[in-house]
Amino acid sequence: MKKYMFILIILNFILTGCWDKRELNELAITLALGIDKVEGEDEYEVTAQVVVPSAVSMKDGTGGTAVTLFTENGETVYEALRRMTKVSPRKIYPGHLQMLIIGEELAKEGIGASLDLLARDWELRPDFYVVVAKDVTAREILNVTTDLESIPASKMFAGLKVSEKAWAGTYGVTLDELIVDLISEGKEAVLTGIQLAGNKQIGSTQQNIESISKPAQIKYDNLAVFKEDRLMGWLTEQDSRGYSGITNSVKSTVTSISCPNEGKSTIEVTNFHSKVEGNIVHGKPEVNIHTKAEGKVGEVRCKIDLKNPEAIQELEKIYEKEATRIINETIHVLQQEYQSDIFGFGEAIHRSNPQEWDQIKENWDEEFSDLTVNVKVDMKIRLTGTVNSSFLEKIKN
């Protein structure tokens, strides 16, 4: 017993407490940051969306907005954040960051330098989402009040997570994933766009959440295409969905297709897996994409007997043709309009033929533009719902 007591006494001298601990009442908990480029200046405008503790407290809620904004300029992001102590009674603490919003103008100039602090700050967990503000500034996005979630950053975070699981046109990218894409050979980065729809003046007031139809809403747009660290342009909704299909990012989605005769049906995709393989054929790089999809009939607006296996096979072939068209058109746009390999085709060539890749990687932009890509899609419809035909047939008859 004396021996154990002696050990405990020794440990008291060796062990230390949390030397860097901070009390919550000393910190401004920041859930979202926005970074814009100051027009005409070599400075950043940084906006922090900070939680108001009294407003979110169940016991002592004041009924006011759940967040407040602090905005400052600086030659670096770090400087702007420290400058906020001139107006904030607490030090900005981004350890629980959920969203980083980059202004479109800054994205066009290059985002690499603005990410340096966030990449090296030990207080930050790199699992927050990064998006690009489209047609508005990051500050304007963060200045919109939201319903359902009283904290706008939380709504944006949850909304992107839900959307990428249910709709193939959006894609959640964390800081870690973005940096990997920025420094990778043979793959460029993409980020989901975020927009402000409606009246941005009313959007910053309590009035915005007091009506059923919101005067201003935050919504996710299509994907932003990067080359190195610069924004090159925006994909359409169809091309954004094509990108998700190529990069094996589809978790679930729905696709409207034509019926064998006339009318439309909708297929809910429940499983989607794409395999990208690179190769060198006759001295030229080539990529094969093989996609296997499974789904079920979600909606029928045509005359079709879903009890007939041949009818199901026809729907599968129509889906395969439509998915192949979308993927090919997406590749064509990136090859001809942006010359940006956001799919990682270069990485696929590198994996399969590392020696040949070393010879072509310096001219990969040109090689990518002329790259032959072979696409094959296989679809299996597993379920048809609780009815075998649409009740619309009986209405029309």
pLDDT on residue 387: 60
Bridge-partner residues for 51, per DSSP? 67
Nearest C-alpha neighbor of 45 from the set 24, 25, 75, 16:
75
- For domain 237-386, give the fold: GMP Synthetase; Chain A, domain 3 (3.30.300)
pLDDT on residue 21: 53
φ, ψ of residue 204 in degrees (nearest 5): -90, 0
Parallel/antiparallel/unpaired status of strands 284-301 and 372-383 = parallel
Residue 273: which residues within 8 A CB-CB, separation 6 or more? 248, 291, 292, 293
pLDDT on residue 216: 80
Alpha-carbon span 174 to 181, nearest angstrom? 11
Q: Are 329 and 242 in contact (CB under 8 A)?
A: yes
pLDDT on residue 183: 94
Alpha-carbon span 155 to 133, nearest angstrom? 16
pLDDT on residue 254: 95
For 253, 262, 268, 313, 394, the CA distances from 387, given in Å and listed in that order, are 21, 20, 16, 18, 13
pTM: 0.88
The residue ranges of the chain whose pLDDT is under 70 are: 1-25, 55-64, 200-208, 210-211, 386-397
pLDDT on residue 37: 95
Nearest C-alpha neighbor of 184 from the set 357, 21, 15:
357
Instruction: Record the tokens describing residue 100, joined without a space.
Output: 């980083």
Instruction: Record the tokens describing residue 254, joined without a space.
Output: 């729905």
Residue 75: which residues within 8 A CB-CB, separation 6 or more? 42, 43, 44
pLDDT on residue 389: 59
Alpha-carbon span 48 to 78, nearest angstrom? 12
What are the residue ranges spanned by the domains of the chain?
Answer: 24-234, 237-386
Residue 50: which residues within 8 A CB-CB, separation 6 or more? 28, 29, 30, 31, 67, 68, 69, 70, 88, 92
CA dihedral 174, 178, 184, 186 (to 10 degrees): 100
Nearest C-alpha neighbor of 349 from the set 276, 249, 274:
276
Alpha-carbon span 267 to 91, nearest angstrom? 51
Instruction: Record the tokens describing residue 117, joined without a space.
Output: 């602090």
